[in-house]
Structure 1
């Protein structure tokens, strides 16, 4: 195992990508020992950049307590991508170490087949009400602690996608105008079951760097950011759009009601506008 000293810690903190390449030159056991020795805030950025196959071998050598500590510092997207590299039995054990709302979101993501847009999407984007004013929307965006893109989504209380609005357009709009009067038609949506390969070729990227991910009845289930998609695509061999497996369908619909109670609370009431919850509170 590499020595944990001030110099190595500084290197890991400043250069997580290079640190990941160094660890990949060691045995999985030595790499696991090093990631146990450093603080989770330093270990997580390195884990993000480990190649999937090697990361899976490292995870095999970390106990559940340590993995749980690491997962609790991540968002649902990252957690789901890491848990897909461990056996199903261990996935279940590790999910019990997460907050309920986070675990529900992760279960939904894991329920989608690997290599699909749904498996790597952000399951908790900012969702706005059509009756909210432009000023309210800007304040909600300012308070939101998740990842914002250059496009925001407007939904009804059942999370059916009603419209979209670019951030630049929102900034230029009259503050007292309601979103219903300034939003655009959601022309560019992505199916949660689309392959990452086909999603990368979506024409919507010519306009925005984030696209809404929808399921049946145009219900918003997440968002796909172009940056995250490229990262996901780098680890997946692009294939044709996979069919919806029976297991994935079951996992999705079994968690939908719980997700409604957990993640859906990000949708503010029609009047007045509610406050945004932190990602780890949904």
Structure 2
């Protein structure tokens, strides 16, 4: 697999499209699906356009909706309409649900009458229900058919169905009467009637059953598909095991983020990460440069603080020795705290609904560490320079600065999150700026307070 990926990247770098097209035509769908997720937006569009029509559709259906949207953005309008129309009804609805309302309306209008009818049917059901995620592409036969007649019907319709491994028996009004597997049908005597071999005890769900319950049922009972019926017990669709696995993955991820109070964060953070990693230089500048300018301004302001206490530095040269210690320790404490916040946020260990509880605990941790480090450093400063008052100033400055920096490490990313600003790019520069200015100010005020008699 790694060799396959490297070969694709080599062909892309060399712009050797003929060799790339040949390589892609010989590749398995699973290989293409795997490599598509690691390519940039531009590379994905190039690779996708070189795939055969059938292979392109297979790959597209397996991608998550976020990647599908990115690919659609690179297509012409005609290509988008073609792709949407060729998707299975349930896959089509899943994608349309993620697109802007105006785009969805336009795309639905471009579908054929039959496709539009299928799509409207599914979109008419509540979100996250069996009706919304089912497919209408299934094999439905009459109980009066013989096994031989049934096999002929399956062969004739197999190409257009999502699965043929489970066959559903209905009456003229589509009321579900029985079910049997393809294996049972093949093994049956050709002249046997379906009503004699079908299972009349049917595991089924209704259109308003929650999608997670459907997925759990499929998983627990080890079924390949589940029939979906309406209130009159008429068969309206089926849900297959592959869709169930996708649902369980989505629901599990959603539950983790919801428990952390981050239900809407997942897609936003994914989009931001994508923009910072694979976006244009200008897009990256727009996110990162403003925060670096804030840091630069903060550095100049820190310089102004030092300049304001120039007399103290001239009178007591030893004061300057401990400036780097105070700034570095505060910086390290703040960076640790912001990193812990970011990791806890993504893993669901931090619940933003209970944020101030987390902030209080982190502040206490900062205070305890600051007190310990401040005491040790204060004693060292006092003995080293022979000025006890300087040791007190250094110790207190370190304790206060580290406590403040630790609290800021949690508080600043949280505020940026609430303001819908990229906290990954903005938190550390803002923390550093505030910490540098406040740390220096605290230190010099304490020096002036305790060593004022020497100035």
**Match for residue 109 of structure 2?**
96
Partner Cα distance (1:46, 1:124) in 2: 19
**Greater RCO (Cα-Cα under 8 Å, separation 6 or more):** 1
TM-score, length of structure 2 as denominator length: 0.46
SS of 2:138 mapped into structure 1: coil
Count of residue correspondences? 240
**Would you say the 8 A contact 1:160–1:217 is kept in 2?**
yes
Partner Cα distance (2:199, 2:218) in 1: 16
Distance 1:85 1:125, change over 3 A: same
SS of 1:202 mapped into structure 2: helix
Runs of 4+ with >6 A deviation: none
Is 1:124 aligned to residue 137 of structure 2?
Answer: yes
Partner Cα distance (1:101, 1:40) in 2: 21
**Would you say the 8 A contact 2:218–2:226 is kept in 1?**
no
Residue 73 of structure 1, CA deviation: 3.2
**Match for residue 163 of structure 2?**
148
Residue 99 of structure 1, CA deviation: 2.4
Partner Cα distance (2:252, 2:129) in 1: 11
Greater percentage in helix: 2
> CA-atom RMSD, angstroms?
3.1
Q: 1:64-103: per-residue Cα shift (whole Å, max 9, x none)?
A: 2111122333322322222222122212211233222122
Question: How do residues 157-236 of structure 1 correspond to structure 2 at under 5 angstroms?
Answer: 157-202=172-217, 206=221, 208-236=223-251
For residue 82 of structure 1, the aligned residue among 91, 95, 120 is 95
**Would you say the 8 A contact 2:218–2:241 is kept in 1?**
no
Distance 1:232 1:40, change over 3 A: farther
Residue 30 of structure 1, CA deviation: 5.7
For residue 54 of structure 1, the aligned residue among 36, 56, 67 is 67
For residue 67 of structure 1, the aligned residue among 61, 80, 87 is 80
**Would you say the 8 A contact 2:141–2:168 is kept in 1?**
yes
Residue 196 of structure 1, CA deviation: 3.0
Residue 221 of structure 1, CA deviation: 0.7
Residue 216 of structure 1, CA deviation: 0.8
User: Which structure: larger Rg?
Assistant: 2
**Match for residue 109 of structure 1?**
122
SS of 1:59 mapped into structure 2: helix
SS of 2:178 mapped into structure 1: strand
Q: 1:208-263: per-residue Cα shift (whole Å, max 9, x none)?
A: 412211111111111112123213433444889xxxxxxxxxxxxxxxxxxxxxxx
**Would you say the 8 A contact 1:11–1:19 is kept in 2?**
no
Residue 22 of structure 1, CA deviation: 4.6
SS of 2:110 mapped into structure 1: coil
Is 1:6 aligned to residue 21 of structure 2?
Answer: no
**Would you say the 8 A contact 2:129–2:211 is kept in 1?**
yes
Partner Cα distance (2:60, 2:16) in 1: 17
Partner Cα distance (1:214, 1:166) in 2: 19
**Would you say the 8 A contact 1:149–1:210 is kept in 2?**
no
Partner Cα distance (1:172, 1:224) in 2: 25
SS of 2:126 mapped into structure 1: coil
SS of 1:216 mapped into structure 2: coil
5+ long unaligned stretches in structure 2: 1-8, 256-455
**Would you say the 8 A contact 1:188–1:204 is kept in 2?**
no
**Would you say the 8 A contact 2:219–2:241 is kept in 1?**
no
**Would you say the 8 A contact 2:215–2:247 is kept in 1?**
no
SS of 1:222 mapped into structure 2: strand
**Would you say the 8 A contact 1:149–1:225 is kept in 2?**
no
